[in-house]
Amino acid sequence: MHTIGLLQMPPRRLANFLLSASAGLLALAVSPAHAQEVAAALTTAPAIQFGVSEMFWQSHIVVKAVMFFLALCSLLTWTVLVEKSLTFSSTRRANEIFLKSFRAQSAGRDLPGGNNESIMGRMWLAARNELDYFGKTHTTTPTPHQADRLLQRIALSAGIVQERELSGLGKMMGVLATIGSTSPFIGLFGTVWGILNSFAHIAVAKSTNLAVVAPGIAEALLATAIGLFAAIPAVMIYNKFTRDINGFVGSLDNFSAEMVATVSRKFDSAG
């Protein structure tokens, strides 16, 4: 009958009953002083879940601030990834379209026109402005000396546009580099602060029990983990975009040389 009554108990009441019974059995097997401590631990130990969210909410306010800041850094990193991926893709596609048009038109007798739809188009537009200015101030075909100086001005004007455009493509790269290099140290600061707070709790509780130390250390190490989570993608994304920008530099340098060569050929054919 007692067994049937136990089976009919709700699970929570049955668990409490078993814990109390275990405490009583242990009290018979150990010394009275130690038995009271063990029984109290068994009957009062709550069955709690100690996950990432619990570690965050139970951590010190300074550690919370560090983890929240690192989470914002990580969010900023992924935002930059999406924004720059779209920007680089559209820029690369616009340059390819203009370069095909430029080569097709330069094969004819007249020089092609520029536009503001791509970086190469804006570079060539600056070069055409120099050509148009020379045409307005000179009515004859340029002499070899004048042609050399004109080609130098064309290259300089295109180079100014190129540097300005590359500077725009490189925006937020410094932010990625800063996040990648400092996030581990920011997380380490949170870890050190959390461990110091744990040792302070040990001093107050006057106990070196692992149950007293472990939660604080786990919360502290979570800050380091979040710091690494923010830093590793930032470094990888920074390296990826650095290679992409270097690719843009090479393609724009090649176009600048091709542009000057095209104008030089037109001068030769006209002279």
List pLDDT tens digits, range 62-116.
Answer: 778 888 899 999 999 999 999 999 999 999 999 999 999 888 887 766 677 777 8
pLDDT attached to residue 23: 43
pLDDT class of 194 with cuts at 50, 70, 90 = confident
**Across residues 231-259, what is the average pLDDT?**
94
- Average pLDDT over the chain, rounded to an integer: 77
Q: Is there a contact between 122 and 102 (Cβ–Cβ < 8 Å)?
A: no
pLDDT value for 6: 42
Which pLDDT tens digit goes with each residue over 121-156?
Answer: 999 998 888 888 877 777 667 777 877 888 899 899
Mean of the pLDDT values across residues 45-58?
55
SS3 call for 116: coil
What residue has token string 């990826």? 240
The more confidently predicted of residues 184 and 20 is 184
**Residue 143 has what pLDDT?**
74
CB-based contacts of 202: which residues, under 8 Å, 6+ apart?
Answer: 208, 212, 213
Confidence (pLDDT) at 139? 64
Q: Select from 8, 257, 264 the least CA-distant residue to 131.
A: 264
Q: Do 220 and 190 contact (CB within 8 A), yes or no?
A: yes
What CA–CA distance (Å, rounded) separates 67 from 55? 11
- The answer to whether the beta carbons of residues 63 and 194 sit under 8 Å apart is yes
In this model, does residue 207 exceed pLDDT 60?
A: yes
Residue 21 pLDDT exceeds 60: no
Q: Is 48 left (phi over 0), alpha (psi -120 to 50) or beta?
A: beta
Cβ-based neighbours of 140, under 8 Å, separated by 6 or more: none
Q: Is the pLDDT of residue 215 over 60?
A: yes
pLDDT, residue 116, reads: 81
Backbone φ, ψ for residue 141 (5° rounding): -65, 135
The more confidently predicted of residues 220 and 271 is: 220
The share of the chain scoring above pLDDT 70, in percent, equals: 68
pLDDT at 32 over 80: no
Domain segments of the chain as ranges: 2-44, 52-270
Judged against a pLDDT cut of 80, whether residue 176 lies above it is answered with yes
Residue indicated by tokens 């029984």 = 39
Q: What is the pLDDT of residue 47?
A: 46
Where b means 16+ CB within 10 Å and e means fewer, 52-91 reads: eeebbeebbeebbebbebbeebbebbeebbeebeeebeeb
Residue with the two structure tokens 């009275």: 32
Contact residues for 143 (Cβ-Cβ < 8 A; gap 6+): none
- pLDDT at res. 228: 92
